[in-house]
Amino acid sequence: MSIILWLIIGGLAGWIAGKIMRGGGFGILGNIVVGIVGAVLGGAIFSMLGIGSNNIIGSLVVAIIGSVILLWLVSLIKGKGNGKV
């Protein structure tokens, strides 16, 4: 997959995950970072489950799911640091 496609999928996944988890995005660079890290996390989780994606839509879905999980984990960590659950 080309780097441009990675950036586009990462940006979309990060933006969609931001909308799902807190109602907003993180700016273009933040969306890309969240989406790419989420794609790696989602890819690892799906690969452990024996599920793979062979097309752009599948890659986007995996990246979104990974990004949502990433944001959820970050919110758990931030919540414990602030005394909130």
What confidence tens digit (pLDDT) does each residue in 34-80 have? Answer: 999 999 999 999 999 998 888 999 999 999 999 999 988 888 887 76
60: in domain:
yes
pTM of the model: 0.83
85: in domain:
no
What confidence tens digit (pLDDT) does each residue in 11-41 have? Answer: 999 999 988 887 666 788 888 899 999 999 9
pLDDT at residue 85 is higher than 50: no
84: in domain:
no
Domain that holds residue 41: 3-78
12: in domain:
yes
pLDDT of amino acid 30: 84
45: in domain:
yes
> How many structural domains compose the chain?
1
DSSP result, the chain: --HHHHHHHHHHHHHHHHHHHHSS--HHHHHHHHHHHHHHHHHHHHHHTT----SHHHHHHHHHHHHHHHHHHHHHHHHHHTT--
48: in domain:
yes
pLDDT of amino acid 83: 47
83: in domain:
no
